[in-house]
Structure 1
């Protein structure tokens, strides 16, 4: 079974005939859309769907994959993941080019930008959701990254395995599921990254929720949203976050948290900024 096959099966299992405008045919032995129904919607043969899911198809055209994505009601980021999975079934040369990503380096100007964002908690994440840099308010909000060994500075690892960080999210399950979906998206870009494989292995062994959600094959690109925090110093905060690409640095994103003006969360963030200035050392990378 290939990644493409596993993903197609997972996407089929999440859909019902009614959701795609097809009549239900009574009791089903397994949940989800049948192969025959997906084949009819995408305009391909059932045998071809079987070969794709079992990893026996040597290749799949972009047109066929786009048709499958449309039939499965995939979002743009989910379709991107489907296309990446299909590309990974190609030649060994194409796999070798994406097997081991280069070591990530952050430009000093990016750290200066973070430090200038005095009223906004901000982080720079790299591949695998590694925390590459932060400002003082970002550390005050999440955790003191400077006290962690570099290999432990990982956003999803902290969300699952650090009790203090995990307990700070008022809607931990929602945040954790989103993190798993982000990481799954990253796995589509670098399917043979050994560091990512080690991270997934560690989280799978140590957390049953991660293990279950990872096998669900939900994918999602990081963009924007809102998180609810229960901070030990600042109390309850409801913060919007924006995810911005760092130009010139592949796979690096800047995440900034903001509060509604004049809200209680804005007041709490101002208090936290003052506390961070007096209580915490300057940020490190």
Structure 2
């Protein structure tokens, strides 16, 4: 049985062309990317040890080994942080959780008051699992057409993989899906992540599980949506980490005048902030 750490190292190794690192291509091979021998040599470790790491038979690499692998794979800053995080959780991953606890869904009053101060802006409070815990009225005005808020317990991750409307509403669906799946690895605890994936995986199918095992580290770009009545809208995203709560305050800012005008036209005069518990 593999580990998230081993999966990530193997996936990154497979994605690297030897020529990009100044190495010979070795001709046609059954497996894509960099050979284990080449990566082990660059990292200064044995092929046998790298094999154990990738296969999950060694779950406790030293800090020096993790840093050497990051250098050998030419990881950027975000990927290096993810590699360190996976090394941290892989060591204790084999522990059994009889009944994992569900994620925290309560939003503190001070956070709700902050959200109220952002009205009529487009903002929400979420957690790493994708639960939409509270949102402003303009968030509802913009997102209601996607179907995300139809359920009493809206969850963006579940919505992306189970509601066909999401694929047309989010212009860059692949990138948004990668972001949401990546956030599962940063969930408040391993228990919460396992609780959610055991519920989602059976209905989300291979699109979800494939992304979960790829460990694509996303880079936050402008969010583009195709609104059925307002057309294409573009938003810049600002994310405030509420570390103590395991939650995030996400604000969507119109990226151009056309989007700002469209949001004004979509605004519902009687709508108000909503907290979901």
Which TM-score band applies after superposition, normalised by the shorter structure?
0.7 to 0.9
- Inter-CA distance 7–173: structure 2 relative to 1 (3 Å threshold): closer
Tell me, in whole angstroms, the C-alpha distance in 2 between the residues paired with 1:192 and 1:282: 31
Structure 2 residue corresponding to 1:210, chosen from 186, 194, 208 = 208
Match of 1:258 in 2: 253
Answer whether contact 2:158 2:200 (CA < 8 A) is retained: no
RMSD of aligned residue pairs (Cα, Å) = 2.7
Structure 1 residue 241 corresponds to structure 2 residue 218: no
Checking the alignment, whether the CA contact within 8 Å between 1:142 and 1:165 is kept in structure 2 is no
Query: What is the TM-score with the length of structure 1 in the denominator?
Result: 0.83
Counterpart in the other structure of 2:158: 157
Offset at residue 227 of structure 1 (A): 1.5
* Structure 2 unaligned residues grouped into runs of 5+: none
Give the Cα–Cα distance (whole angstroms) in 2 for the partners of residues 95 and 198 of structure 1: 14
- Cα 1:247–1:88, aligned 2, differ >3 Å: closer, same or farther? closer
Asked if 1 retains the 8 angstrom alpha-carbon contact of 2:7 and 2:214, the reply is no
Give unpaired runs (5+ residues) of structure 1: none
Change beyond 3 A, Cα 1:231–1:112: same
Contact kept in structure 2, 1:146 and 1:283, CA below 8 Å:
no
1:101 CA displacement: 7.3
Distance change (3 Å), C-alpha of 1:10 and 1:100: farther
2:74 alignment partner in structure 1: 73
Distance 1:233 1:91, change over 3 A: closer
For residue 224 of structure 2, what is the aligned residue in structure 1? 228
Aligned 8 A contact 1:180 1:210 in 2: yes
- Deviations 1:170-218 (CA, angstroms, capped at 9, x unpaired): 22233223322333x336x63343422224423443xx43233333232
Q: How far apart, CA to CA, are the structure 1 residues paired with 2:93 and 2:223? A: 41
Residues 56-106 of structure 1 show CA distances to partners (whole Å, capped at 9, x for unaligned) of: 22521011101101211223332233223322343589888xx75763431
**8 Å CA contact 2:125, 2:249 repeated in 1:** yes
Cα distance in 1 for partners of 2:94, 2:9 equals: 24
TM-score, scaled relative to structure 2: 0.85
* Paired residues for 1:176-215 under 5 Å: 176-183=177-184, 185-186=185-186, 190-193=189-192, 194-205=194-205, 208-215=206-213
CA distance in 1, matches of 2:209, 2:94: 31
Mark the CA change 1:115 to 1:163 in structure 2 (over 3 Å): closer, same or farther.
Answer: farther
| Structure 2 CA distance for aligned equivalents of residues 83 and 240 of structure 1 | 28
Q: Using the TM superposition, give the Cα deviation of residue 146 of structure 1 relative to its aligned residue in structure 2, in angstroms.
A: 6.2
Contact 1:88 1:94 (8 Å CA) reproduced? no
* Preserved contact between residue 169 and residue 227 of structure 2 (Cα < 8 Å): yes
1:237 CA displacement: 1.1
1:42 alignment partner in structure 2: 43
- How many residues were matched structurally? 270
**1:25 alignment counterpart:** 26
The Cα of 1:134 is off from its aligned counterpart by: 0.7
Structure-1 separation of matches of 2:243 and 2:86:
25
